[in-house]
Structure 1
Amino acid sequence: MSGAERITIACLDLAGTTVADGDAVATAFAEAIATMGIVAGTTAHERAMARVHDARGRPRIEVFRTLFAGDEARAQAANLSFERSYDLVVDRRGLMPVPGTEAALERLTSAGIRVCLLTGFSRRTLGRILDTLDWWKRVDMALSPEDGGRGRPWPDLILSAALRLGIDDVRHIAVCGDTENDMLSGRRAGASIVAGVLTGAHDTDRLNRAGATHVLASVADLPDLVLPSPRLHHDGAVTAEHR
């Protein structure tokens, strides 16, 4: 990576990327749509959950608006039910970082890279996750769709982070996420690194089709991608070289 494209901001997704997702989000979606009469074991439920899987990474309320097109009241009710269900999942199981995440955050911030967490959760749920993990001081910023205009797949959240953190070139941004919507938003924002990870919703093929510049096993591998690597000269001197 050239000096002109030195990474100064890392925009990292939350569930499935930095926070171990398991089936917590899918469970909360299933319970939410069940309150709207779409119950497990039906064709309608299978279709709805397939659409939920396709839409992972998008704002949760937008997913429900898609499912209940033209019925804002049902979409809002389902979204409220989702948040309650997710809270119960957190209460029952707790939350864990994806293995290696906290070490990766430390490496990035120690190198002077500013870290922004991005999510499709509401601001309230985002705050609860950061409280549970005690991550407020580990990152520079955390944004939900309520904070930055349109959610993913649009670039608004990433560009909001860039504006608020004061960068002068979008090529200095690295984006990391587990869904095609993360990849689309990163490419639309002009980030030079848009890395997909395999710890969440979507697989390698889907991430690549959506424009991933790299596909990593997990966010734990991101520092090795974006940080300078040492280069040994013939005289034995070592200098940093950006990847």
Structure 2
Amino acid sequence: MNGAERISVACLDLAGTTVADGDAVETAFAEAIATMGVVAGTGAHDRAMAAVHDARGRPKLDVLRSLFGDEARAQAAHLSFERSYDLIVDRRGLAPVSGAEKALDRLTGAGVRVCLLTGFSRRTLGRIVDALGWWDSVDMALCPEDGGRGRPWPDLILSAALRLGIDDVRHIAVCGDTENDILSGRRAGASIVAGVLTGAHDADRLRRAGATHVLPSVAEFADLVVLSPPPLHHDDAMTADHR
């Protein structure tokens, strides 16, 4: 197997993986939920925020649908979420996770195509990538509106594979900070599904979801991808089994 058959596409999550999140996403959720009458200091609020934390990585609108069970209320809460997130970004600004930009350069410099994935809407995705000036650093950026079902389903990763002309999902590497990111990568058949510890979920949770690697941050992910051996194909496995 030659070098061209190594990992050729890297799918990286945004908030908590390549973009420093802090508490911005959960703060925006809390403010959105409050506009629907679920206010801080109540048991209902605590339960809702626990559900939000568990659901990190999923499409934001899907999370709100699961909380409210009513499309009109979910849509209204989603509008509030996006307004709140915009205000947080305006106040605090956006910054990459330490080492993220070097990781993107390392991947693209090695000929690996990079796709950013997110559970944000297309509008918020565009705002984040614009603010960071990353359009020239990546090949593609996809949100749930682009790929059918969002995470934990594999649709976004498989959409990236189709759009980038990948003929074998084993040539894909995935990186994310949540259980849902990991589940999505495993269901897509990616060879590398790495969890990072800069975001929402801890190492144990990432491992239970099926992470092939747990890394301190995306900075280590680039070396893992670039230096990884080629994925084992069926014919290779058959040969190895009969040695």
Q: Same fold (TM over 0.5)?
A: yes
* TM-score, normalised via structure 1 length: 0.92
Structure 2: gaps spanning 5 or more residues: 232-243
Q: Secondary structure at the match of 2:10?
A: strand
- 2:136 is paired with a residue of what secondary structure? coil
CA deviation map 1:154-198 (0-9, x unaligned): 000000000000111000000000000000000000000000000
State how 1:74-223 maps to structure 2 within 5 Å.
Answer: 74-223=73-222
Shift of 1:226: 1.1
The number of residue pairs the alignment matches comes to 231
Does the 8 A contact of 1:226 with 1:242 survive in 2?
no
Partner of 2:15: 15
Q: 1:181 to 1:226 in 2, by over 3 A?
A: same
CA RMSD of aligned residues (A): 1.6
1:3 positional shift: 6.0
Distance across 2 between alignment mates of 1:54 and 1:242? 34
Q: Secondary structure at the match of 2:11?
A: strand
Please report how far the alpha carbon of residue 2 of structure 1 lies from its aligned counterpart in structure 2 after TM superposition: 8.8
C-alpha distance in 2, partners of 1:60/1:2? Answer: 41
Q: Are the aligned partners of 1:61 and 1:79 in contact in 2 as well (CA < 8 Å)?
A: yes
Taking every aligned residue pair, what percent have the same amino acid on both sides? 82
The whole-number CA distance in structure 1 between the counterparts of 2:133 and 2:3 is: 34
Please give the secondary structure, in 2, of the residue aligned with 1:38: coil
Shift of 1:242: 5.6
What TM-score does the superposition give when structure 2 sets the normalisation length? 0.92
CA–CA distance in structure 1, aligned partners of residues 88 and 150 of structure 2: 24
* Matched residue, 2:236: none
Residue aligned with 1:44, SS: helix
Q: 8 Å contact 1:5–1:192 — kept in the other structure? A: no
Distance 1:208 1:79, change over 3 A: same
Other-structure match for 2:26: 26
What SS does the corresponding residue of 1:90 show, helix, strand or coil?
Answer: helix
The aligned amino acid for 1:189 is A
Matches of 2:117 and 2:194, distance apart in 1: 14
Q: Is the 8 A contact 2:119 2:150 kept in 1?
A: yes
1:232 corresponds to: none
Q: Secondary structure at the match of 2:220?
A: helix
Report deviation, 1:228: 2.8
Cα 1:224–1:242 change in 2 (3 A) is: farther
Contact 1:8 1:172 in 2 (8 A): yes
What code does the residue aligned with 2:189 have?
G
SS at match of 1:85: helix
Cα 1:173/1:37, change in 2 over 3 Å: same
Structure 2 SS opposite 1:15: coil
